Amino acid sequence: MNETRFKNVKALPSTHLLGTGTPMCAGCGGLEALHEIYDILGEKSVFVNAAGCMTLLAIYPFTPFRGSWLYTAMASAPAGAQGIRDALDILLQKGQITPKDDMQVVTLTGDGAAYGMGMSATSGAMERNLDFLYICYDNEGYGNTGQQYSAATPHAAKTTTSCGPQGFFGFKKPLFDIWAAHRPAYVATVIGAEPLDLARKIEKAKELKGPRLIIALSPCPTGWDFDPREAIEIGKLAVKTGIWPLKEYVNGEVVHTKLPKKRLPVERYLEKQGRFAHLFTPQRNEELLTEIQERVDRYWAEMANP
Amino acid sequence: MKRLLLTGNGAAAWGARLAQVDYIPAFPITPQTEIIEAIGQWIDNGEMAGRMVTLESEHSMITAAGAAAATGVRVFSATSSQGLLYGMEMLFTVAGWRAPFVLANVSRGLSAPITLEPDHNDILAARDSGFLQIHCSTCQEVLDSTIIAYKLGEDAGVRLPVIVNQDGFYLSFTREPVEVPDQEQVAKFLGQFDPENTRFRASTPESQAVAVLGGAPYSYFRYESHLAALNAIKVYDRIADEYEQLFGRRYDAVESYRCEDAEYLFVMLGSFATKAKAAVDQLREAGWRIGLLRPRLLRPFPEKLFQQTLTVTKGVAVIDQNISMGKGGVLYTELASVLAGSTEPAPLLVSFIGGLGGRDITPEEFYEMAEVTKKAVQEGQAPPPRLLYTETDLRETRKLQAIAQAERSELGGSE
């Protein structure tokens, strides 16, 4: 699909569909992305949620959604999507509902579920070619419980379970690659700070059938330790430094949708967040900073010459 | 109506087929697999409508089952043992959704040690999940109970999922003659599934299973489920009457076998109760006034029915095919609670544990349990719970250990 409704930022929806007054933190990058996604996706949708921050969006008897919602459990939201999608198909087939009562089935989970506990259920859903949209708001840690490291935590980040001078010993799991290896209809990375790129991807995903999976990097003021007003800037820096490549997998190919012309040094992104403060004070940890920069450089070099 | 030779697994599959289920999320596990194989073959042959999907785990399977029921279709699923436990989080969860469906469980002992043969620790682990439980002792009962379970779970005053339990091997793999009711008659009995407002439609959005903050709304919904489950006793009785009228087979919430004028009772669940019946017949011939009570409904627990029958007896041998480590038999404690709240003279309860991991309970053991119970009544004192295990059992186990030792020294390993 080459034609997009969204030629420029002025074409983006000017009002939000998702209600306000949720208990999400001020400056939540996940909620920002969800607002933007929901505006494009629309209210003919049912959100199937796994345990995480966004479980608190719908608290009895209120919901910010205009469509439907089902909370499942941490590990099995994609299986909940399977049950709903299959049931809707059965009802359509039997003529017990009309197509106007059909809807997009959307799985909404954090990185804890997407990168870890729910991975088996997601893999199963892709293998069964389930027609659903998966949105992972990725704040790179178990944020709802106070930011312990998860399989999505980047190398060297300080979390409440990785507080040593080297931060997190592990490396962020390549979820995009793992998902794409299943050859689903669509995989994309997005970030709320780049709303045009995000809107075009959701627009595209909405028109496709089959498994469509979106990872939204979600700057997290409480978990990453920054002032909420910096959320957008940090999101933009994640893209400009090349740390969060915006890309999509479609028709068997990976395409980068926003190439940072001149990548900024990763420091510019890291220095804004308390979780990386130990890389700069009391003295600079040149070794780790270089290691992080080199890893990003290597990614883009391999991307240019695959 | 036709008569077929069916295994318990076959009977469960027939129950689902006759209920004209729309959706079957599945996962194979011994000794349940034949259920989903039979349904799969019927769907592939065009003998049965419905959509079957194999999930990647029981946890996902039960999630999908609940989600489909919450969308408004009739759902059937089946599992056993480790599978039931793997899905345990979702048993509790989907029961809270109040979206009815039927889950067949084929009981099998739990790991460790891992085994394939039956006892009831799997199904009793699900006791507090919010699922209603119907326990079967014949293949006919498995088929009929599956149909009854839909009527019960879907009732407007209940709306809870139901597990229909049968014992692995003893029922699942044993062929018995089973009367298969006419499709039309079953369809008339069940009617179409009415999801009421528990459903997903774009034009009428619903939020289901949302979070609550605080104990007041949490308790509200938990109590609602409990009251609905209690209400299911009355509803079950009404359905059992209706089922008898239409199909000629009666299934009381508690089966009572030769309990008239009984001084002593056996109480037990499941297929081994048929062995207890044979023992009752023998003991009656020898002059005993003895009978058998077998709960079909375990959740909700038909307390009144037990009170009525138990309080007129002297002694009750409760035989548990399960073991709660550090306490004893689960059914025993359930029955004790029934008797504790009454000023009526209560019979003495004597606890026996046996039949674990498929171990047989022999006629001689039933006679012995009756004797032990009689003696306890005479002495006015129940003995500590008796773990059924004979010298032969011990010798068999010692033999295995001796072989292992001999092989090890033969092969030059350390002692």
Give domain limits for chain B: 2-247, 254-393
**In this complex, do B53 and A128 lie within 8 Å of one another by their Cβ atoms?**
yes
B72 in A contact zone (CB under 8 Å)? yes
Structure confidence by residue, pLDDT tens digits, A121-155: 999 999 999 999 999 999 999 999 999 999 999 99
Structure confidence by residue, pLDDT tens digits, A170-217: 999 999 999 999 999 999 999 999 999 999 999 999 999 999 999 999
Name which of A57, A247, A174, A101 is nearest B199 in CA terms. A101
Structure confidence by residue, pLDDT tens digits, B36-86: 999 999 999 999 999 999 999 999 999 999 999 999 999 999 999 999 999
State the pLDDT confidence band at B413, using cuts at 50, 70 and 90. low
CB distance B347 to B310 below 8 Å: yes
Query: Could you tell me whether strands B297-299 and B132-135 are parallel, antiparallel, or unpaired per DSSP bridges?
Result: antiparallel
Percentage of chain B with pLDDT > 90?
Answer: 94
The alpha carbons of chain B give a radius of gyration, in whole angstroms, of: 22
B93 in A contact zone (CB under 8 Å)? yes
Q: Is the peptide bond before B347 cis (omega within 30 degrees of 0)?
A: no
Distance of alpha carbon A86 from alpha carbon A100, whole angstroms: 16
Cα-to-chain-centroid distance, residue B160 = 16
Which single residue is written with the structure tokens 């799997």? B122
State the pLDDT confidence band at A2, using cuts at 50, 70 and 90. low
Query: How far apart, in Å, are the Cα atoms of A188 and each of A136, A255, B321?
Result: 11, 9, 53
Q: Which residues of B touch A68 (CB under 8 A)?
A: 200, 205-208
Q: How many CB atoms lie within 10 A of CB A272?
A: 18
- Picking from B63, B73, B88, B192 by the largest number of A CB atoms within 10 A of its own CB, the best residue to mutate is B63
CA distance A65 to chain B (A): 9
- Picking from A22, A66, A70, A101 by the largest number of B CB atoms within 10 A of its own CB, the best residue to mutate is A70
Q: What's the pLDDT at B343? A: 75
Residue A217 has φ and ψ, to the nearest 5°, of -65, 130
In CATH, the number for domain B254-393 is 3.40.50.920
Q: Which residues of B touch A61 (CB under 8 A)?
A: 210
Question: Mean pLDDT across the stretch A261-265?
Answer: 94
Question: Mean pLDDT across the stretch B165-187?
Answer: 97
**In this complex, do B22 and A59 lie within 8 Å of one another by their Cβ atoms?**
no
Name which of B374, B291, B382 is nearest B336 in CA terms. B382
DSSP secondary structure, B218-268, as one string:
HHHHHHHHHHHHHHHHHHHHHHHHHHHHHHS----SEEEES-TT-SEEEE-
Name which of A194, A197, A175, A211 is nearest A255 in CA terms. A197
Question: Mean pLDDT across the stretch A75-101?
Answer: 98
Q: What's the pLDDT at B56? A: 98
DSSP state of B332: H
Q: What's the pLDDT at B414? A: 56
**In this complex, do B71 and A84 lie within 8 Å of one another by their Cβ atoms?**
yes
Distance of alpha carbon B4 from alpha carbon B12, whole angstroms: 13
Work out the end-to-end distance of chain B between its first and last CA atoms, rounded to an integer number of angstroms. Answer: 64
Cα-to-chain-centroid distance, residue B196 = 28
Work out the end-to-end distance of chain A between its first and last CA atoms, rounded to an integer number of angstroms. Answer: 25
CA distance B71 to chain A (A): 6
Structure confidence by residue, pLDDT tens digits, B342-397: 777 889 999 999 999 999 999 999 999 999 999 999 999 999 999 999 999 999 99
Structure confidence by residue, pLDDT tens digits, A31-79: 999 999 999 999 999 999 999 999 999 999 999 999 999 999 999 999 9
**In this complex, do A84 and B209 lie within 8 Å of one another by their Cβ atoms?**
no
CA nearest to B220 within chain A: A60
β partners of residue A159: A162
Which amino acid would we find at residue B205? Answer: P
Question: Mean pLDDT across the stretch B329-336?
Answer: 96
Reply yes or no on whether the pLDDT at B231 is more than 80: yes
**In this complex, do A70 and B51 lie within 8 Å of one another by their Cβ atoms?**
no
Q: Is the ipTM of this complex over 0.90?
A: yes
CB distance A77 to A50 below 8 Å: yes
In residues, how long is chain B? 415
Percentage of chain B with pLDDT > 70?
Answer: 99
- Equal CATH topology for B2-247 and B254-393: yes
B203 in A contact zone (CB under 8 Å)? yes
Q: Which residues of B touch A124 (CB under 8 A)?
A: 55-57, 60
B344 versus B223: the higher-pLDDT residue is B223
Reply yes or no on whether the pLDDT at A278 is more than 80: yes
- Delineate the domains of chain A, giving CATH numbers in brackets: 9-304 (3.40.50.970)
β partners of residue A110: A137
Query: How far apart, in Å, are the Cα atoms of A97 and each of A86, A106, A159, A207, B131?
Result: 13, 19, 48, 21, 29
Distance of alpha carbon B153 from alpha carbon B132, whole angstroms: 8
Distance of alpha carbon A270 from alpha carbon A59, whole angstroms: 35
**In this complex, do A75 and B59 lie within 8 Å of one another by their Cβ atoms?**
yes
β partners of residue A105: A46
Counting DSSP H helices and E strands in chain B, the numbers are: 14, 16
Distance of alpha carbon A78 from alpha carbon A136, whole angstroms: 12
Name which of A178, A218, A179 is nearest A198 in CA terms. A218
Token pair belonging to B141:
């009962």
Token pair belonging to B148:
């009854």
The pLDDT mean for chain B works out to 96
Q: State the number of CA atoms in the 13 A half-sphere of A270 facing the CB.
A: 27
β partners of residue A213: A134, A187
Q: State the number of CA atoms in the 13 A half-sphere of B378 facing the CB.
A: 6
Distance of alpha carbon A78 from alpha carbon A109, whole angstroms: 9
DSSP secondary structure, B57-116, as one string:
SHHHHHHHHHHHHHHT--BEEEE-HHHHHHTHHHHHHHHHHT---EEEEEE-PPSSS--S
Q: What's the pLDDT at A305? A: 79
Q: Which residues of B touch A65 (CB under 8 A)?
A: 205, 207
Burial class (CB in 10 A: 0-12, 13-18, 19+), B188: exposed
Query: How far apart, in Å, are the Cα atoms of A170 and each of A158, A173, B415?
Result: 11, 9, 44
Q: What's the pLDDT at A104? A: 98
In CATH, the number for domain B2-247 is 3.40.50.970
**In this complex, do B207 and A55 lie within 8 Å of one another by their Cβ atoms?**
no
Q: What's the pLDDT at B109? A: 98
Token pair belonging to B20:
């004209």
**In this complex, do B71 and A48 lie within 8 Å of one another by their Cβ atoms?**
no
